[in-house]
Amino acid sequence: MSKTALLPPEPQVAQLPWHKQLQQSLQQRRDAGLYRQTRQRQGEQSVEVVVDGQSFLSFTSNDYLGLASHPDVRAAFIKVASEEGVGSGAAHLLTGHSVHHQHLEEQLAVFCQQEAVLLFSTGYMANIGVIDALTGRNDVVIQDKLNHASLLDGGRLSEARQWRYAHNDMQQLHRRLHQTSDAGQRLIVSDGVFSMDGDLAPLPEIMALAQQHRTAVLIDDAHAIGVLGSQGRGSVEHWQLEPASYPIVVGTFGKAFGTAGAFVAADEVVIETLRQHARSYVYTTAQPAAIAAATSVSLRLLQAESWRREKLQALIEQFRRGAEQLGLPLMDSQTAIQPVLMDNEHQALAVGQSLEQQGILVGVIRPPTVPAGSARLRITFSALHQSEHVDRLLSALEQACAH
């Protein structure tokens, strides 16, 4: 038999002219230095990782507190998976909602000082579900331009009119509120900590404007929950808001909690509305119960072990001091997300490669994930890093940026 006879026939889709256009656009992306690729990690998710067979010291994960590999978190996951199986088998509103989900929701409501909590299978799904469920045709959604893609996508799904304001520009937000005063309901939406810049939304100012204009606020605290505030309650604790002026909060478990999934914390009426109407809650399989059980353990650990937040903060400060001495272009971030700006995407790739040759892995972030002209290295820290790791990173950066 000839070799070609073993190949599958050309699929129907590949015969279409449209398929050629897809190929061309992939090639353009490659040529522009914007092509994204998956790599394979083997073994444990930690600060020392093996990727594509090579060992690296990694500054790429959002496991800010080092809980993803914590023995108690693993043990809770394994116990419930062995008792109850892996898959939850159904949506929450059918039989997918286990006692472990219920406990986690109740514990999170207490932690967040809000009336109620609803779990979602991912943060992406929480964000699209909430915005779509809470706003409709006569309403307006007003978002920071640098909000996470899932928030912007939530706006696209909703039938509400979409407005944006320049990043953290409170004067422009104020103008937007005046411009939309004829709308039905309005929802201001912002990241609590911006995922690519690492800076904070000015929550007290946003809440004051919202109060003045009788507008609801949704804060995506994916990068703040567990990390900011002395007890890890996120942006509201960092800014010392009173519970009466808390926004609706989305938190995710894939970062500081070290597990997977997400939640929304708000008052009973909002949470009940989401349970009834959030399509990404109603029409999807509940996250595995073992994840909920492991997340409950993470929640206990992150409250009990404030040393993790303190250590993380010390590492961040050590890095910023060292990077400033090297004259690296840092951004205005005090959080575990520390971007270093590059001249362009080609330089970002070259510096990323040089770091890899020195055994260091960082995120190389290019448009469209960030605005054109703002390619950067995205360096994230974890409480599992040691001070020597930061020294190694700084000397590797010095060498990589010297070329």
Q: Tell me the catalytic residues.
A: 195, 223, 255
**Is 124 labelled a binding residue?**
yes
User: CA 28, 32, 33: angle at the middle one, nearest 5?
Assistant: 120
**Is 223 labelled a binding residue?**
yes
**Is 246 labelled a binding residue?**
no
* 262: contact with ligand PMP by CB under 6 A: yes
Nearest to ligand PMP by Cβ — which residue? 123
**Is 252 labelled a binding residue?**
yes
* 56: contact with ligand PMP by CB under 6 A: no
Q: Per CB under 6 A, which region of 119-127, 273-281, 301-309, 381-389 contacts ligand PMP?
A: 119-127
| Residue from 234, 254, 352, 363 in contact with ligand PMP (CB under 6 A) | 254
> What is the 8-class DSSP label of residue 96?
I
> What is the 8-class DSSP label of residue 244?
G
Q: What are the tokens at 231?
A: 């007890």
User: What residues contact residue 340 under an 8 Å CB cut-off, 6+ apart?
Assistant: 323, 328, 329, 330, 376, 377, 379, 397
CB of 119 to ligand PMP, least distance (A): 11
User: What residues contact residue 229 under an 8 Å CB cut-off, 6+ apart?
Assistant: 235, 236, 237, 238
What character string, x for contact with ligand PMP (CB under 6 A) and - otherwise, covers 186-205? Answer: -----x---x----------
State how far the Cα of 304 lies from the Cα of 371, in Å rounded to an integer. 39
Contact 298, 108 (CB under 8 A): no
* 220: contact with ligand PMP by CB under 6 A: yes
Contact 126, 151 (CB under 8 A): no
CB of 196 to ligand PMP, least distance (A): 8
**Is 295 labelled a binding residue?**
no
CB of 199 to ligand PMP, least distance (A): 12
Task: Lay out the sheet containing 41-42: strands in order across.
Answer: 41-42, 48-51, 54-59, 360-365, 376-380, 337-341
Sign of CA dihedral 361, 362, 366, 369: positive
Nearest to ligand PMP of 122, 235 (CB atom): 122
* 148: contact with ligand PMP by CB under 6 A: yes
Sign of CA dihedral 351, 352, 356, 358: positive
Q: Per CB under 6 A, which region of 116-124, 283-291, 321-329, 346-354 contacts ligand PMP?
A: 116-124
| Residue from 58, 122, 295, 335 in contact with ligand PMP (CB under 6 A) | 122
**Is 226 labelled a binding residue?**
no
* 235: contact with ligand PMP by CB under 6 A: no
Report which residue type is found at 142.
I
Residues comprising the binding site for pyridoxal 5'-phosphate?
123-124, 195, 223, 252
Residues at the interface with ligand PMP (CB under 6 A): 122-124, 127, 148, 150, 191, 195, 220, 222-223, 252, 254, 262
Binding site residue list: 36, 123-124, 148, 195, 223, 252, 369
